[in-house]
Structure 1
Amino acid sequence: MTADRPHGTRMRILRAALDLLTDGGTEAVSTRAVSARAGVQQPALYRLFGDKRGLLEALASFGFERYLAQKEIAHAATGNPLDDLRAGWDAHVAFGVDHPGLYQLMYGTVHSGQRSAAAKEAYEGLLAVMRKLAALGALRTPPDVAAQMIQSAAIGVTLRLIASDGDPASDDLSPGVRDAILAAILVDPAADDHTAESDTLAARAMSLDSRLADQPGHLTPTEAALLREWLRRLATRH
């Protein structure tokens, strides 16, 4: 019981901070207000989080954990990377719109060079889907570039929707941007001959790059790195 007490106190403080954030934004999340809402003394909060910045950073990590848990519940992996990608985008945007204060804390107040373990886990999940698509020959851009494009676009769309506050004109924004980004990173089976040839070369380069990453074979690390660099050049030269 004693060993569990600090964890219980920490969660009570985080939930109190989340309530205040939801009601009044980051300005409402003072150490005094959080302590009062959680029913703990301020020294206990300082021992666990250091100061308000430490509390907000922990709250952002808490938000990522909730996001990942909610996303996992919302849809199970189908085995189809493209379907998973679409569902993942929609779940990301829905979470932000449903939890605007928390989302803005998670993505709108980032300190340079710092990402929580949960934020890294969220990105790694997206990158894993990109690598599956590359292995299938469906990706025309390097997996890490594609993942960064999708994440950046999804964050921008979600923040725009939060700012629009239910403006009906924004209803088509998320699916429109999602499909535009997918068109930019995926091979188009209906493309004209010239584009199809370029897409095929890029997709094959990315597929081989993906296989080299998993199974370098008989190549030395230097040889594998050089070959992967050439493959990426082929994939990005249209």
Structure 2
Amino acid sequence: MSVTREPSTRDDVRAAVVAAAARLLREAGAEAVTTRAVAQAAGVQAPTLYRLFGDKDGLVDAVAEHVMAAYVAGEAGAADGTGDPVADLRTAWDAHVDFGLANPELFALLSAPGRRDPSPAAVAGIEVLRGRVHRLAAAGLLRVDEERAVTMIHAAGTGTVLALLEVPVDRRDAGLSAAVLDALLGALLRAAPAVADAGPRALAIAFATAVPDLPGLSDAERALMAEWLDRAVRALREA
């Protein structure tokens, strides 16, 4: 009779479980990632999974961290990019879509309705996106405020991946991703940086990016100015 032998340390257990879950996800799909199957594949008792991860969402988050670690680290490391904020956003978009298509089961799990919270790995990716959008705003290229731009890009990127995953590989529209991004950028970006006659909204969005670095102001004054600009941008958006 075989006896289940758990790895000797908590870190060993966690690594074994995450690796087993990632392997099951890759080889057999999302439906195969059950606590019972993962525990058996990792050689641990099922209660161990709950002690380590809390529930299945916690386990999926850990798998996402494992699979996405190199991807997010690479994106963050390239945050300064080429010096062209539009080109860098295109590169990030392509990487996001490519990752989703290469890891369909994981992407579907992370995007599934009903998750209690976003995956930490997904949150890290959003922060990278937020930095890229900030560079667009600092260059005076955004038509909308930064938060709206981040939300629109994230929603469009996720939707593009899910739409492509619904179609067999040999029938996918190879130009869909680029077409969606082009349409999105047409709505988000100005053809040229904001100038004095560009209107108050474009100027407020661009000026807001400089507030943290303005000299001669206290932190409280910078915070108040940022609040004023944010209120102005929102009012102009709703006008």
TM-score when scaled to structure 1? 0.81
Q: What is the CA distance between 1:135 and its match in structure 2?
A: 1.1
1:68 to 65, 72, 97: 72
Distance 1:45 1:86, change over 3 A: same
- Counterpart in 1 of 2:48? 44
Q: What is the CA distance between 1:104 and its match in structure 2?
A: 0.8
Count of equivalent residues: 229
Distance 1:228 1:45, change over 3 A: closer
Q: What is the CA distance between 1:199 and its match in structure 2?
A: 5.3
1:154 to 142, 151, 157: 157
Q: What is the CA distance between 1:43 and its match in structure 2?
A: 3.5
Q: After TM superposition, where is structure 1 displaced by more than 6 Å over at least 4 residues in a row?
A: 73-76
**Alpha-carbon distance in 2 for matches of 1:35, 1:165:** 32
Q: Which blocks of at least 5 consecutive residues in structure 2 are unaligned?
A: 1-7
**Alpha-carbon distance in 1 for matches of 2:205, 2:134:** 9
Q: Which blocks of at least 5 consecutive residues in structure 1 are unaligned?
A: 190-195
TM-score when scaled to structure 2? 0.81
Instruction: Describe the superposition over 1:83-113 as per-residue Cα deviations: whole angstroms up to 9, x where unpaired.
Output: 110000000000000010011112224525x
State the AA in 1 paired with 2:227: A
CA contact 1:17–1:29 (8 Å) conserved in 2:
yes
- Counterpart in 2 of 1:209? 208
CA RMSD of aligned residues (A): 3.1
- Counterpart in 2 of 1:185? 188
Q: What is the CA distance between 1:147 and its match in structure 2?
A: 0.8
More helix by share: 1
Q: What is the CA distance between 1:51 and its match in structure 2?
A: 3.8
* Structural mapping, 1:1-238, within 5 Å: 5-69=9-73, 71=75, 77-112=81-116, 114-189=117-192, 201-215=200-214, 217=217, 219=221, 221-222=223-224, 224-234=226-236, 236=237
Distance 1:213 1:152, change over 3 A: farther
Instruction: Describe the superposition over 1:39-93 as per-residue Cα deviations: whole angstroms up to 9, x where unpaired.
Output: 2333433321234343234334444435414546899722321111000000000
Deviates more, 1:128-137 or 1:15-24: 15-24
CA contact 1:133–1:139 (8 Å) conserved in 2:
yes
Q: Identity rate of aligned residues, in percent?
A: 37
